[in-house]
Structure 1
Amino acid sequence: MRIASCRNIFLVGPMGAGKTTIGRRLAELRQLHFVDSDHEIESRTGVDIPYIFEKEGEAGFRRREKQVIADLVLQQDIVLSTGGGAVLDADNRRALAAHGFVVYLHASVEQQLARTARADNRPLLQHAADRRAVLSQLLSVRDPLYREIADLVLPTDGRSAKGLVHEIVQQLDRVPAPI
């Protein structure tokens, strides 16, 4: 395991993995500030993510995401939930790995389908004729990138947020304190 600063905890993984739910609970338990990178982008721009995708495309969104992540990783004592595609950018991966303990919340395509079935705020799924195919493709590209920077990989299928938070805390307590 790579020794990382445990003053920050970064959650990565696909949509529907539970990053926001687990992040909020983890932050509360560890008395840290919770930040969701997508919500931060929306706050800074004053519009929602689907609107950014519509007006600027995915490339425009990714530029905004990169700036937000570069800013957020420099904060201290945060739990950061990243967007599922944040790991596509090598600079984002380096920044996350260098500034905190990275937890990859792994979710199967089945779980992602179930958890995103009624979501209308997922630009990559909005117009997809075959959501399973889209999610499978995204996971095949992103899974190795999540694993590349993860200090901890946790399967989330069939597991409660409470249990996952407990396991993350146990793992964090085993990591040597930063110098």
Structure 2
Amino acid sequence: MSIYDIELETINGKQASLGEYEGKVLIVVNTASKCGFTPQYSELQKLYEQYHEQGLEILGFPSNQFGEQEPGANSDVQSFCQLNYGVTFPLFAKTDVRGDDAHPLFRHLTEELPFGGFNTETSSGKMLNAFLEEKYPDSLEGPSVKWNFTKFLVDREGRVVRRFESTEEPSDMTDAIEALL
């Protein structure tokens, strides 16, 4: 199965397909409105504005699976993102990104690029790793998404080429994005 065969639901409840983004460079990111990493929306929007005309699409998937940090309805999420961060990139319906009910897109992404650990050389990587070890030790096992704002970079052929964990800023992706555009 190709990544482009995966069906989606937009934040407005319309059916969509990843096939609509075939030939584009994609950043697929799980998001939340009440997370310490929520300000990453701002940098993601900047990347979108900078590279969209060259073929970059950013696809945001709100999820309430991590500390219940996305409790609102889809309409609340959309309003929050637009009002607070000026988000214009596509957002999708609230989505499970890990566990038995994980959306097929996130199952595919994590099978292609499993969790490789946080960079514990950084303070945020060290902090998130320690937090998860203490509060949710089972969550560190397996290939799944570990927290909000895990970012997957997909090339124009639909290959998952890079995974950036929550603790990595969107601006850290610039070189990898430019290499694919």
Normalised by the length of structure 2, the TM-score is: 0.38
The structure with the greater share of residues assigned to helix is: 1
Normalised by the length of structure 1, the TM-score is: 0.39
Structure with more contact order per residue of length (Cα contacts < 8 Å, sep ≥ 6): 1
